[in-house]
Structure 1
């Protein structure tokens, strides 16, 4: 089953692990936050992992070798309960929905700015992906992709009046949300 799993990384190796998993075409999620530090008497703002030494990865253990994931540079182990790996999709979805509130910077493999309709139509969204509306009444708003409804429509979670609402929208109105780091 293709799901999100939690990986334990070697100390200060989250970015290295994320990059190496990306080279293996494995989707990752590394929530980052901005922190203030004093360096040589000056205040410096840096980004740091929200969960030090941990990284989320989305893969199917029946397709992708678990041994290959464990042997990836920067990875120490896969967090699991007993003998079976535990998918954490609900945690990743919750974090993605609250990124702005928590001040999370999402470092993903690619930043999408403006894309043509043809390029947007080719993109395959996965459950939990942050999306941005580029057309229609919700332009510039962000939501979370839930599932495909049909070839031309998608189900999106969108915060409306403080509540998460599930909406069916045309696929052409969506593109992956840009990196939060660019918004700051």
Structure 2
């Protein structure tokens, strides 16, 4: 039975495992996302591999970098193809894009910092910067008026 399965890899070996299986001709999927300017596995230590079970099980299990094939007492548990298709449908240019706090703000929108040391602070969204991960917001409080550069993922648009 050829199906998708979840592999648990050794820490930080997802890309090594990907290379080995792709060189061997196996369909492989390691979803990625961008965080703090770096491309990282979306599920650290977990990847998806399509193979013939149980015929290729030992080959897969003993590949360098693989810790185990995820399953239960009865053996490896296959995934439905639609699970992989759903993950792939969330990709833009090969990376999974997350809208962490809902609607993307536009210049002039009132925003609130939703995470980090500035949590709860409100301001006005000014602009996205070229690296797409940071934005500039305008702050206007009783004793302080200024601008703040902050990661876009830490903001949410204030809905009126």
- What is the TM-score with the length of structure 1 in the denominator? 0.48
The alignment yields a C-alpha RMSD, in angstroms, of 2.1
Which is higher, the Rg of structure 1 or of structure 2?
2
Aligned with 1:71 (options 62, 74, 78): 62
Q: In structure 2, the residue corresponding to 1:73 is in which secondary structure? A: coil
**1:49 and 2:41 equivalent?**
yes
Q: In structure 1, the residue corresponding to 2:30 is in which secondary structure? A: strand
In the other structure, the counterpart of 2:52 is 60
- What is the TM-score with the length of structure 2 in the denominator? 0.55
In the other structure, the counterpart of 2:87 is 95
**Which has the larger displacement, 79-88 or 7-16?**
79-88
Q: Deviation of residue 96 (structure 1)?
A: 1.2
In the other structure, the counterpart of 1:18 is 18
Greater fraction of residues in helix = 1
Aligned 1:26-175 pairs, distance under 5 A: 26-36=26-36, 45-64=37-56, 66-88=57-79, 89-100=81-92, 103-104=95-96
**Matched residue count:** 96
* Equivalent residues of 2:31, 2:95 under 8 A apart: no
- Rounded to whole Å, the distance in 2 between the matches of 1:51 and 1:26 is 19
Alignment deviations for residues 120-172 of structure 1 (CA, whole Å, 9 cap, x no partner): xxxxxxxxxxxxxxxxxxxxxxxxxxxxxxxxxxxxxxxxxxxxxxxxxxxxx
* Equivalent residues of 2:32, 2:40 under 8 A apart: yes
Which ranges of structure 2 fall in alignment gaps of 5 or more residues? Answer: 98-160
In the other structure, the counterpart of 1:2 is 2
Q: Deviation of residue 61 (structure 1)?
A: 1.3
Q: In structure 2, the residue corresponding to 1:69 is in which secondary structure? A: helix
